[in-house]
């Protein structure tokens, strides 16, 4: 998949990305905007052209990539590349750690992040700190309430994202709570 991801990286190619081996009907749609030899950064959209955020994933987490499908041709009528709101790398970067780039952006801009581990565990919250070994995140539950601090091993992380529909929903709920 690495070569295909590199070919599609930073093009105007809308792609389908399949990462859930248990449910072939679930897939993401977006543009691969940056990649390394091990991971890629994708700007995703839902089927109503709503911006569904940016996500970094390991290349090996994606088992099917499709483009030029009838579904994507229909979706391209609604989903066009949009100007990026964030200063993110574009293209192929062999030496860059895209996970660190995204975690740093989330920490600096105080953006709600979502982190998924290889076992499916998912955590939403604000990045407190991270290094090559551990990510510390202040969790927020589905109702926008603070839910403690979680420490995750970086080697177990399979996906990090921000600015998606769910992250934005939790951020609004959190902001609306009286503390």
Q: What is the pLDDT of residue 8?
A: 95
pTM: 0.92
Determine contact, residues 31/15, Cβ cutoff 8 Å: yes
Residue 65 contacts residue 11 (beta carbons within 8 Å): no
The domains of the chain, with CATH numbers, are 1-95 (2.30.30), 97-179 (2.30.30.100)
Instruction: Collapse the DSSP code of 21 into the 3-class scheme (helix H, G, I; strand E, B; otherwise coil) and give the result.
Output: coil
Short-list 161, 139, 135, 158, CA closest to 148:
139
pLDDT > 70: percent of the chain = 99
pLDDT in tens, 46-81: 878 788 999 999 998 899 999 999 999 988 888 877
Give the up-direction half-sphere exposure of residue 109: CA atoms within 13 A in the CB hemisphere: 16
**Alpha carbon distance 178, 171 (integer Å):** 13
pLDDT by residue (tens digit) across 27-44?
A: 999 999 999 999 999 999
- 75: enclosing H helix or E strand: helix 70-75
């Amino acid at each position: 998949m690495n070569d295909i991801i590199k070919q599609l990286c930073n093009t105007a190619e809308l792609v389908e990305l399949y990462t859930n081996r248990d449910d072939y009907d679930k897939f993401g749609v977006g543009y691969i905007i940056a990649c390394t030899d091990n991971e890629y950064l994708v700007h995703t959209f839902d089927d109503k052209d709503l911006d569904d955020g940016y996500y970094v994933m390991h290349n090996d987490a994606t088992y099917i990539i499709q483009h030029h499908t009838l579904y994507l041709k229909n979706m391209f009528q609604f989903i066009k590349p949009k100007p990026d709101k964030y200063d993110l790398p574009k293209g192929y970067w062999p030496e860059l750690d895209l996970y660190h780039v995204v975690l740093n952006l989330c920490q600096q801009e105080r953006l709600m992040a979502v982190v998924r581990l290889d076992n499916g565990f998912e955590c939403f919250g604000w990045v407190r700190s991270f290094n090559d070994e551990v990510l510390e995140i202040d969790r927020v539950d589905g109702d926008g309430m603070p839910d403690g601090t979680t420490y995750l091993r970086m080697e177990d992380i399979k996906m990090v994202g921000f600015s998606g529909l769910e992250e934005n929903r939790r951020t609004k709920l959190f902001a609306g709570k009286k503390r």
